[in-house]
Amino acid sequence: MLPLRKNIAEMAGYVPGFQPEGEGWIKLNTNENPYPPSPKVAEAIIAEMSRGGENLRKYPDAGSKEARRVAAELYGVDPSWVIMANGSDELLNNLIRAFAGEGEGVAYVHPSYSYYATLADIQGAKIRTFGLTDDCLIADFPNCYEGKIFFLTSPNAPFGFGFDNDYIAELAGRCAGILVVDEAYIDFTTVSAMELVKQYENVVVTRTFSKSYSLAGMRLGLAVARPEVIAALDKIRDHYHLDRLALVAATAALQDQEYLQSTVSRICETRDWFSAELRKIGYRVEPSLTNYIFAEPGDRCGKRVYDGLFDHKILVRYFSDPLLKHGVRISIGSREEMEQALTAIIETS
């Protein structure tokens, strides 16, 4: 027998969205962006690779100083309030490692991002989940949640609605530990909880470059929180967690907000068109503030839609969870991809 920790031996491990081999698939299953990243990103990477990649000889800047400075300027905070990361998943992991010891409480909303549970399992933390009410609020949230961390995905995944800041502020007041607002999809909407970080000591906001910035393949994320929280996260991360190419990519992407806005608005336009078309053929589609929709067919059989689209080499996300099996989550691709998806949905229904 391997001398594994008991919780590691017993945990299942996370299953990421399917990444198909071979050509010809339309991937609408992992909320990737259909458009390339800002051209400034490739320019920055090519510049970093000049002289035969001579710079790669040297370690990167362990403190991500330039990327933090640019992010801090963008969000109107001091750089000591910002940390960069190897995907926002690294931050979620390190927040648990920093705040929740073995047997201590970690909570999140179900349904939302199930990776929180895997990360809490690794740490041996005690997991609690809260459901949603019909009004899209947290069901039975205590006056004071005593656990160390509560993760709030806002906008929600996979339903796509947002929580307003008054409500998030109220939750912050009801958390004895920290409230992590996972804003993976915030660029597709307008209201962010970022201002609450300054008002509430226990609020941390995390962001990813994987969706709105089209950089899932670079692995980049960031968090904004008070300097004491950032200092703790800096202590426990791998010192060279971001390589030179990722660092210049992050800086270039953050500096091109105009490009970000242009791709985001194209995606939102396609989303609204696609949602309306699905409603015309009898689907129920929740209004979404993100780059995906949760779509429920008339017969409430998500698996049938998933299988029908799979046969057309179109991948969407089906969750067998009882709260989600009546629909599918469909990422918003390019207009052409969504036209093909619509045709396939009509053919399979």
Say how many residues make up the chain: 349
What track of x and - describes contact with ligand PLP for positions 32 through 71 (by CB under 6 A)?
Answer: ----------------------------------------
Please name which of 192, 109, 194 lies closest in space to residue 153, comparing C-alpha atoms: 109
Please name which of 142, 140, 137 lies closest in space to residue 177, comparing C-alpha atoms: 142
Is 132 a residue that touches ligand PLP (CB under 6 A)? Answer: no
User: What is the closest distance, in whole angstroms, from the C-beta atom of residue 162 to ligand PLP in the complex?
Assistant: 13
Is 177 a residue that touches ligand PLP (CB under 6 A)? Answer: no
Is 88 a residue that touches ligand PLP (CB under 6 A)? Answer: yes
The single residue among 105, 221, 327, 333 that binds ligand PLP, judged by CB under 6 A, is 221
CB-CB neighbours of 15 under 10 Å: 9
Phi, psi (deg, nearest 5) at residue 65: -60, -45
Which residue type occupies 313? K
The single residue among 113, 306, 310, 318 that binds ligand PLP, judged by CB under 6 A, is 113
Is 291 a residue that touches ligand PLP (CB under 6 A)? Answer: no
Distance, in Å, from the CA atom of 70 to the CA atom of 79, rounded to the nearest integer, reads: 8
Distance, in Å, from the CA atom of 244 to the CA atom of 247, rounded to the nearest integer, reads: 5
**Total residues at interface with ligand PLP (CB under 6 A):** 13
User: What is the closest distance, in whole angstroms, from the C-beta atom of residue 295 to ligand PLP in the complex?
Assistant: 17
Span interacting with ligand PLP, options 50-58, 84-92, 239-247, 302-310, rule CB under 6 A = 84-92
Is 208 a residue that touches ligand PLP (CB under 6 A)? Answer: yes
Is 11 a residue that touches ligand PLP (CB under 6 A)? Answer: no
Is residue 211 a contact partner of residue 32, using CB atoms and an 8 Å limit? yes
Distance, in Å, from the CA atom of 255 to the CA atom of 262, rounded to the nearest integer, reads: 14
Is 108 a residue that touches ligand PLP (CB under 6 A)? Answer: no
- For residue 272, what are the contacts with CB-CB under 8 A and spacing of at least 6? none
Is 169 a residue that touches ligand PLP (CB under 6 A)? Answer: no
Distance, in Å, from the CA atom of 349 to the CA atom of 347, rounded to the nearest integer, reads: 6
Span interacting with ligand PLP, options 81-89, 102-110, 166-174, 246-254, rule CB under 6 A = 81-89
The single residue among 45, 216, 268, 342 that binds ligand PLP, judged by CB under 6 A, is 216
Is 160 a residue that touches ligand PLP (CB under 6 A)? Answer: no
- Measured from the CB atom, the residue of 92 and 172 that comes closer to ligand PLP is 92
Is residue 69 a contact partner of residue 274, using CB atoms and an 8 Å limit? no
Is 153 a residue that touches ligand PLP (CB under 6 A)? Answer: yes
- Measured from the CB atom, the residue of 107 and 184 that comes closer to ligand PLP is 184
Is 89 a residue that touches ligand PLP (CB under 6 A)? Answer: yes
Q: Which residue is nearest to ligand PLP (CB)?
A: 87
Is 183 a residue that touches ligand PLP (CB under 6 A)? Answer: no
Beta-bridge partner residues of 145: 175
Prior bond to 158 cis, omega within 30?
yes
State the first-to-last Cα distance of the chain, in angstroms, to the nearest integer: 51
DSSP classification of residue 125: P
Span interacting with ligand PLP, options 44-52, 72-80, 85-93, 251-259, rule CB under 6 A = 85-93
Q: How many CA atoms lie within 13 A of 300 on its CB side?
A: 4
Is residue 248 a contact partner of residue 48, using CB atoms and an 8 Å limit? yes
Query: Which residues of the shown chain bind ligand PLP in the complex (CB under 6 A)?
Result: 31, 87-89, 113, 153, 157, 182, 184, 208, 210, 216, 221
